[in-house]
Amino acid sequence: MASLLGTSSAAAAAILASTPFSARSSKSAVLSLFPSSGHSQGRKFYGGIRLPVKKGRSQFHVAISNVATEISPAQEQAQKLAEDNQRPVYPFPAIVGQDEMKLCLLLNVIDPKIGGVMIMGDRGTGKSTTVRSLVDLLPEIKVISGDPFNSDPEDQEVMSAEVRDKLRKGEQLPVSLTKINMVDLPLGATEDRVCGTIDIEKALTEGVKAFEPGLLAKANRGILYVDEVNLLDDHLVDVLLDSAASGWNTVEREGISISHPARFILIGSGNPEEGELRPQLLDRFGMHAQVGTVRDAELRVKIVEERGRFDKNPKEFRESYKGEQEKLQSQITSARSGLSSVTIDRDLRVKISKVCAELNVDGLRGDIVTNRAAKALAALKGRDKVTPEDIATVIPNCLRHRLRKDPLESIDSGLLVVEKFYEVFG
């Protein structure tokens, strides 16, 4: 650390690094130095920083106090302005074909607990375009104003420690509505940027040991999108696995110990020709969508023409799909509100588990995700009861990537699931 900060501030960095930080919260700590009473005091200079010292066994006492890492109103306004000026996104209803991928994405927006989507397919099939077009359809959620972790004012599981402490003390916290975040995780991201790290600038200029939240904090209660996920470095894959498993991100570095909620919908896309995904990470994706190149000549021409219209005048093109976009948004909002009332018969649950057991699916994630996805589909269609047709639609996407690989097997794993489904369900 000394080599990064320069020799003049090496001692200051050492002092900051050696300071205990026992409080696990989303707050950072202020380092206050003061002499003990009853002892003569002197002044010493350490790397340009003047510290009061005393004669005796210890040179100074250290007191830790908490400082909230909040987003100021000016920062919120700047973020909103940046969103308004961002490049136009291709509208979701304008995407031709690829119904399987679009359905998987919509079901995850309706029920985030499904656990995300892995989209694998040929290059140039619109995987990234479709995922990014989802931004316009994302509903609004309640968050604590100024909280960098998008804490839910009603659910303690996705609340930062600081917000929980304030609520325990009976403080009234301002609540605002904001759109669900979509965070892009670039392949070249560093672990510090993903997990968060100490704010060196504040540490040196203000004497504050502040935590700078990373992409996992920003993605809490939102979507984390990784393009070309099969090319992601192993150490970042480990970080994602840990957060996806626990729903929390824990940072232990430079004398800082902080845990914050990191519950997100993990969406990945990639080309299978560029390498396989680790089984542990693949299992974390709730659903798997297989995307193929459109072979119909008429559809291909339509896709080219639509893309040409968008490139020529994005604003006008988006306006032409505004009605369909709003209709789909209201359908998603209605499905989210009605999801809790959707039921599934025990007989259907037993059959789902029988399919999973006979396909030798490891663990119980397959059972859980299939039940959730079938309920989300019923809610999307405006029904309060799951039918076998709903299960038939979603079960290949929920189980395809969980089957054990047989190098001698030529049949697609999705077809194996469909065959077993009709065998069990009759």
* Count of Cβ atoms closer than 10 Å to residue 351 Cβ: 17
131 Cβ contact partners less than 8 Å away, ≥ 6 residues apart = 105, 119, 225, 227, 267, 269
Question: What is the rounded distance in angstroms from the CA atom of residue 160 to the CA atom of residue 171?
Answer: 15
Contact of 362 with 402, CB cutoff 8 Å:
yes
Residue with tokens 């304008």: 94
Q: In this structure, which amino acid lies at residue 201?
A: E
E strand residue ranges, 98-195: 117-121, 140-144, 175-179, 182-184
Q: β-strands 223-227, 265-270: how paired?
A: parallel
Instruction: Please list, in sequence order, all residues whose beta carbon lies within 8 angstroms of the beta carbon of residue 370, skipping any fewer than 6 positions away.
Output: 352, 356, 391, 394, 395, 398, 399
Q: Would residue 365 show up in a list of annotated catalytic residues for this protein?
A: yes
Closest CA to 165 of 5, 24, 3, 324: 24
Secondary structure string (H, E, C) spanning 361-409: CCCCHHHHHHHHHHHHHHHHCCCCECCHHHHHHHHHHHHHHHCCCCCCC
CA distance 103 to 135: 15
Active-site pick, 221, 284, 336, 365? 365
Residue 369, C-beta contacts closer than 8 angstroms, at least 6 positions apart: 114, 115, 286, 287, 398
Neighbours of 402 (CB within 10 A): 22
Query: Do residues 288 and 243 make contact, with C-beta atoms less than 8 angstroms apart?
Result: no
- List active site positions: 365
